Structure 1
Amino acid sequence: MPLRPIRRFLQRCLVPLLAALATAPLHAADRAEQRAQFRTALSLAAKPQDTAWKRYAAALEEARYPLAPYVELAALRPRVAKLERREVEDFLKRWPDTLAARDLREAYLRELARRGDWTTFRALWQDSSDRELQCNALQARLAAGDRLDFARDLETLWQDSRALPSACDPVLAAAHRGGTLDDQRIRERLDRAAAAGNAEAAAEIAPLLDGVERADADRIVTALRDPSGTLAKAKNWPDGAHVRDAVSYAFARLARSNSSAAETAWANLQARFQWSAEQKNRILHAIALYRATSYSPDALARLKALPEEAEDEATREWQVRIALTGGDYKETLEALDGLSDAQKEDPRWRYLRARLLDKLGRKAEAAPIYAALAREANFYGFLAADWSEQPYAICPGKLAGTDAAEATLAKQVDLERAYEFRELGMLREARREWDFAMGKLDQNQRRLAADLAYRRGWYDRAVFAFSADPETQKLYEQRFPLGMEKHVRQEARAAGVDPAWAYAIIRAESAWMTDARSHADAYGLMQLLPGVAKQMAKAEGLPYSKAQDLFDPELNVQLGTRFLGRMADKYDGSPWLASAAYNAGGAPVGRWLDARASLEPDFFIETIPYKETREYVSRVLAFSVIYDWRMNGKALPLSSRMPKIGQAYRAPDDRTPRKAVVCAPSPTPPATVADGAASPKQDTGTGEDASQP
């Protein structure tokens, strides 16, 4: 065979083949071995006297294992107090622009701040979102003789209503001494903290004031921490502007937890002080608002009596709810007329207006509102479509990408680390790497990365990314994943609940984070409390020994669907009432039913006192429609998921008639289902959740 054809064959076939082999993904067995080595190396690195980790680290680095820097990081961090600068700089040089490098740098900077080694601190400092380190950096500048500028150095921290880290204390003290922070700015922050009810933030800045100003500031802190005690003592206090401020903040704080006590105290102290309009309005606003959230008999009268300057969106909305609860539809319409222009555009209040007009026989006025709402894929849009006998308008979108963009994304090593952590089950570390990677990508790349996460089964990354992006709201496939579909269908059916509802609970509770853990100590996909899980496991004969078992998604769904079924049984099968109880607990729902069981379901939902539960129920019901459509191509009418209180409800099956879904263009930017994942599984006792009106 002539030489030239052989050369052409090698160039066209063999060379590309060898190149492809050189760049091909690591064999699964090799990667599995590297993961085992990584785990071993991490455990060895945690032992201060053991240097065996170095052999593993070198091998992993040579093999270019994505997580190789984390082995050395695991060895360095426990001994950060003994590290020398050269060791840190060597690591930063070998692993530049990585999350591991940032973690070591920030840990070492904290140590340098503790030592007071501000020279080395300044040499290694890089901008950080960590507020403690930001204040350390300002302290380092002060040590070097720099003068702080309020707008450049302090304003962002100062405007934050949260309490500042203790590392900020010497900076603030120095800024005050130098005149950068004057008493007026301190007083403004104190007032912001007090208005937000943040006693910790108020307490940290009170010491910056002196003399009478300090005494007044301390009185405000006490008012926030002990409003009842403050109001009891106030009758003996001298009148003065700052004294009245403290008393007014005590009223506002007390009204949140006990509006009756605040009302009684107001009757005793109203004439005691010469209130400014602002102070009096603060008190009247708080008492009226929280009398409303507890549905006191005088609530509507108090809301209507508020001076215009004491009103805000919350009081106007509660005027609507109180009127609605009383069954006076004309009064409710008048309250709707009193909403701000921005509030009137909210689908919630547009829907309620149409419903009231319909109830009053003004169907011609209701029809165009229903028609416009029915083009929106949200709770109110779906209900409007039911009332006006229109199909649901769900218009799915697609994500456009390019080969070049996807190729660039494939080379993103931070994303590779995120996926590798996920494969190892180290989900917290995986999310941190993911967030670090997202900070380096442009908007289109972030969307492509989220879509890739969805296709790889990392659903929570896609849900959070696309639900937070106004331009990707129509990516329903990615935002509402059908994860574990066979398992969810099977377990939901076994529990006697609609799989679409079970999916909606998963989506609303955890947004598909299998290791989610709430502030109320609820775990996993369906956010179960350990006590509830133990009870259900015992009753159903399912394996369960500890709370961490609930991070197993299959077990969580097994226990969660059965608990959901038990909740539904308590409320005649009603998914909307069971959803309310799933979020808020049975005791609050019992109180609401005792007070307002005659209301129609949509009106009852709007009058739920807990803001979170109010929004949770509407979110779950809307998600149920979307998941039903995702599974069946059609959807059970939302209104059929909302039986009247006391009316029996039976979960749908495959033969249940469903409603058509069409792709109708929206006349406005997409108004979609509000997202979120929150689950406070605790009853607040005798009062309502007044902190969230």
Structure 2
Amino acid sequence: MGGCVSQKKNKCYLGIALFHLSLGCTTSMAYASNEQFNDALSAANAGNVAQLDQYTLAMQNDVLGYYPEYFKLNTNLAMQPSSSIVQFAQKYPNSAMAEKLAADYVEEKVKQANYLDAQPVLPYVTNADTAEDCAIAQVRAKSGDSLVFAEYKDLWLSTNSNMPDACMGLNRMMSSSPLMTSEDKQQRLWTQLRAGQIGLAASTAQSLGLNISIAQLTQIQTNPLGYLWSAPKANDTDYAYLIFALGRLAESDLTAGLTAANRAAEGVPPAVQKYLYRTVAYIGGTTVLKNNFNRIVLNYFDASYGIPFSQEEAEIYARQAIRFGAWDSLIRAISVMGVTQQQESRWQYWLARADEQQADSSYKKQATTIYDSLAESGDDYYNLLAQERIGQKYNRVDNAQPLADDLQRVNQDVNFSRAFALRNIGAPAIYANREWNWAVRQAYLRKDDGLLLAAAQRASNIAWYDRAIYAAERTTNKHNYTLRYLTPHQSAVVLHSGNVGLDPAWAYGLMRQESRFVTNARSNVGAGGLMQIMPNTAKLVARQMGETYNPAALSDMNTNVRYGTYYLSMIQGQLNGNAVLATAGYNAGPNRALRWQPTDQPLPADQYIESIPFDETRNYVKNVMTNTIHYGAILGQGQQYMSKWMKMIPLRGQ
């Protein structure tokens, strides 16, 4: 043959199987073998083990050759002996699918309460998600690890109804453990009562020797206010019913709950009194969408200070304090956080903001020290805010290039080779992305910036933009901001942004957050394309622009950008021309962004953003603002600063 040409595709795919071959490009047989992945996947979905055996043999020398073996083991994972999982992990060390197989196996065995079989597999799970982490913790606890429960105290106090089964199981294990003190169990009981979790609360009460009646709790739930007027307050069982009643009242009518809190708190021990205030404060702080912001909620958080806070409670307390500029309360809220939580950049930034407001010069000096540290440690949202607080502006466009050797090493790296091979054969994105993310993780752990930049460059060259960004973001010392903040479709973005008076840096900042430039991206609620436009929004924009709506047009890059920039400009006009409000409105809807505006006095933009009640929207706005600063630098707009975009939030209606 005249060179290395695939008989199926008539192309030379460099590096796909270079890990197995010392040639400069793949052979036609190796590439054809790669393409058998999709057939093997179909066999796995059909449960055809015999065919998987055939593909195992046919693909044994291919970079994707471990997939038929993985599929076969995964076909009936719960029935596999642990030795088979360990053998696979040792045969394919530090690989994405060995990690996944081991993690899934541990979860399956924990579901069976077969902790003994799960134990030998634990060393091969190194990047567990939440459910896997809880399963591993159960196995550790069963093997006699006495420290494990202390690591999961926040999980123990969580009232998340969508908690993974493995985490629910870990909580049950903790409930029956003698290592959990009476104080731990009491805090859990009160938290469950506050959340209205009748069955779980009754179980926890039993472990404390309290006889709480489910029938009584159910009766209280039908008329909590009536119960509160005549509630007995003589013992721990009475206090439990009291907390439950106040929580149910506050959930149904926060104003009534806030009013009833003082009466409920009369004549009870100080700890119970504080938790009654904590109950209405927490419910008020987590129902802002329904009840808006209420200063009394923060007052009751202050009144509850002195008994332990969970991580979640401390964050709600802090965000309420930030909303109202209550800097002493914010310092208290941060002081009750765990050490790890306190050291997060967001709480360091807000501690500095609070210290800055104190009259004592030592606090102001501490604020400056924190700002200096944040300003030097990165260029994410809080780093950029800190830079501006000490008078720095931003114009960083690092552009480190991968070396020729780095580009060659990407071809030789088995993890990246698997990812590119899956991409080239059109395998389901979940497999290609998993291999890519795993490859990036391994390079990141080695601090191999050259390999990461080379992989990002190669991904960008084939328009695999989201993975290019994912790799470029994870370098440690050498950075390339043109890869981190890619600008595909630049002529269209600049044109359509200019037509509606938008800065293209903002349009790019939003687009990067919405889709990472995946043209056919689809959200679980139906938003689509580069700017993730909802069908109803697209219909509105088409009507405003005097066009006939065509659903298929949203898949067109040009139309998607044109509609998205028009809509962003439209809601900016509805929201005082304010970029922060418009960004929040683009994600959560303009009516919500409007509703979150202050009603008493204008609010600094960082305080508005931090108090947005949706986690998704709060993080979205932070990321878009950060992206926008970087795109301003990338597009050659000179020095950038956050206050250019984060203007004071005006009063609602002004």
Q: TM-score range by the shorter chain?
A: 0.5 to 0.7
Q: Look up the SS of the partner of 1:488 in the other structure.
A: helix
Equivalent residue number for residue 551 of structure 2: 544
The one of 432, 435, 457 aligned to 1:433: 435
List gaps (5 residues or longer) in structure 2.
1-19, 336-341, 360-364
CA distance, structure 1, for counterparts of residue 106 and residue 608 of structure 2: 51
Residue identity opposite 1:264 in structure 2? T
Q: Give the Å deviation of 1:185.
A: 4.0
Contact 1:579 / 1:617 at 8 angstroms: preserved in 2?
A: yes
Q: Give the Å deviation of 1:586.
A: 2.1
Q: Give the Å deviation of 1:407.
A: 6.7
Residue identity opposite 2:239 in structure 1? R
Contact 1:512 / 1:525 at 8 angstroms: preserved in 2?
A: yes
CA distance, structure 2, for counterparts of residue 77 and residue 565 of structure 1: 50
CA distance, structure 2, for counterparts of residue 339 and residue 81 of structure 1: 45
Contact 2:443 / 2:449 at 8 angstroms: preserved in 1?
A: no
Equivalent residue number for residue 60 of structure 2: 61
Residue identity opposite 1:263 in structure 2? L
Q: Give the Å deviation of 1:240.
A: 1.9
CA distance, structure 1, for counterparts of residue 110 and residue 304 of structure 2: 52
Please state if 1:416 is matched with 2:417: yes
The one of 281, 284, 292 aligned to 2:277: 284
Q: Give the Å deviation of 1:24.
A: 0.6
CA gap 1:38/1:313 in 2 versus in 1, 3 angstroms: closer
Q: Give the Å deviation of 1:207.
A: 3.9
Q: Give the Å deviation of 1:493.
A: 3.7
Please state if 1:265 is matched with 2:260: yes
Residue identity opposite 2:271 in structure 1? E
CA gap 1:116/1:236 in 2 versus in 1, 3 angstroms: closer
Contact 1:281 / 1:307 at 8 angstroms: preserved in 2?
A: yes
Contact 1:605 / 1:617 at 8 angstroms: preserved in 2?
A: no
Q: Look up the SS of the partner of 1:263 in the other structure.
A: helix
CA distance, structure 2, for counterparts of residue 123 and residue 644 of structure 1: 57
The one of 230, 242, 246 aligned to 1:247: 242
1:484-536 CA-to-partner distances (Å, cap 9, x unmatched) read 43343344345553221111112344556778776766556534445435655
Contact 2:322 / 2:607 at 8 angstroms: preserved in 1?
A: no
CA gap 1:251/1:78 in 2 versus in 1, 3 angstroms: same
The one of 500, 507, 520 aligned to 2:505: 500
Q: Look up the SS of the partner of 1:151 in the other structure.
A: coil
1:552-600 CA-to-partner distances (Å, cap 9, x unmatched) read 877754543343233234336543331121133222233345835x737
Range with bigger deviation, 457-466 or 415-424: 457-466
CA gap 1:626/1:269 in 2 versus in 1, 3 angstroms: same
Please state if 1:452 is matched with 2:454: yes
CA distance, structure 2, for counterparts of residue 141 and residue 339 of structure 1: 33
CA gap 1:414/1:194 in 2 versus in 1, 3 angstroms: farther
CA distance, structure 2, for counterparts of residue 217 and residue 399 of structure 1: 66
CA gap 1:541/1:231 in 2 versus in 1, 3 angstroms: same
Q: How high is the TM-score relative to the length of structure 1?
A: 0.64
Q: Give the Å deviation of 1:188.
A: 1.7
Equivalent residue number for residue 486 of structure 2: 481
Contact 2:106 / 2:132 at 8 angstroms: preserved in 1?
A: yes
CA gap 1:244/1:345 in 2 versus in 1, 3 angstroms: closer
Contact 2:416 / 2:439 at 8 angstroms: preserved in 1?
A: yes
Equivalent residue number for residue 339 of structure 2: none
Equivalent residue number for residue 561 of structure 1: 565
Contact 1:397 / 1:475 at 8 angstroms: preserved in 2?
A: yes
Q: Look up the SS of the partner of 2:209 in the other structure.
A: helix
Residue identity opposite 2:567 in structure 1? F
CA gap 1:603/1:213 in 2 versus in 1, 3 angstroms: same
Contact 1:256 / 1:286 at 8 angstroms: preserved in 2?
A: no
Q: Which has the larger radius of gyration?
A: 1
Range with bigger deviation, 575-584 or 209-218: 209-218
CA distance, structure 2, for counterparts of residue 40 and residue 149 of structure 1: 45
Residue identity opposite 1:47 in structure 2? A
Q: Give the Å deviation of 1:44.
A: 4.0
CA distance, structure 2, for counterparts of residue 138 and residue 601 of structure 1: 43
Equivalent residue number for residue 25 of structure 1: 25
Q: Give the Å deviation of 1:627.
A: 0.8
Please state if 1:182 is matched with 2:178: yes
Q: Give the Å deviation of 1:283.
A: 3.1
CA distance, structure 2, for counterparts of residue 450 and residue 518 of structure 1: 28
Q: Give the Å deviation of 1:71.
A: 3.6
CA gap 1:206/1:593 in 2 versus in 1, 3 angstroms: closer
Percentage identity across aligned positions?
A: 20
CA distance, structure 2, for counterparts of residue 336 and residue 140 of structure 1: 39
Equivalent residue number for residue 100 of structure 1: 97
CA distance, structure 1, for counterparts of residue 257 and residue 485 of structure 2: 45
Q: Give the Å deviation of 1:630.
A: 0.8
Q: Look up the SS of the partner of 2:551 in the other structure.
A: coil
Q: How high is the TM-score relative to the length of structure 2?
A: 0.67
Q: Look up the SS of the partner of 1:160 in the other structure.
A: helix
1:322-381 CA-to-partner distances (Å, cap 9, x unmatched) read 3x6xxxxxxx78889989798999556767998999xxxxxxx9xx99x97997867788
CA distance, structure 2, for counterparts of residue 335 and residue 116 of structure 1: 45
Contact 1:219 / 1:243 at 8 angstroms: preserved in 2?
A: no
Q: Look up the SS of the partner of 2:59 in the other structure.
A: helix
Q: Give the Å deviation of 1:181.
A: 1.5
Contact 1:491 / 1:561 at 8 angstroms: preserved in 2?
A: yes
Q: Give the Å deviation of 1:60.
A: 3.2
CA distance, structure 1, for counterparts of residue 117 and residue 333 of structure 2: 57
Equivalent residue number for residue 599 of structure 2: 595
CA distance, structure 1, for counterparts of residue 214 and residue 24 of structure 2: 67
Contact 1:504 / 1:621 at 8 angstroms: preserved in 2?
A: yes
CA gap 1:599/1:484 in 2 versus in 1, 3 angstroms: same
The one of 529, 537, 541 aligned to 1:532: 537
Equivalent residue number for residue 191 of structure 1: 187
Equivalent residue number for residue 657 of structure 1: none
CA distance, structure 2, for counterparts of residue 284 and residue 463 of structure 1: 46
Q: How does 1:148-547 map onto structure 2 within 5 Å?
A: 148-149=143-144, 151=146, 155-156=150-151, 160-161=155-156, 181-182=177-178, 184-185=180-181, 188=184, 191-192=187-188, 195=191, 207=203, 210=206, 213=209, 215-216=211-212, 232-233=226-227, 235-236=230-231, 239-245=234-240, 247-248=242-243, 251=246, 255=250, 258-271=253-266, 274-285=267-278, 287=280, 299=296, 302=299, 306=303, 309=306, 315=317, 318-319=320-321, 321-322=323-324, 347=349, 392-397=393-398, 411-423=412-424, 424=426, 426-438=428-440, 440-441=442-443, 443-445=445-447, 447-455=449-457, 456-457=459-460, 458-461=464-467, 463=469, 476-494=481-499, 496-510=501-515, 522=527, 525-533=530-538, 536=541, 544=551
CA distance, structure 2, for counterparts of residue 308 and residue 140 of structure 1: 36
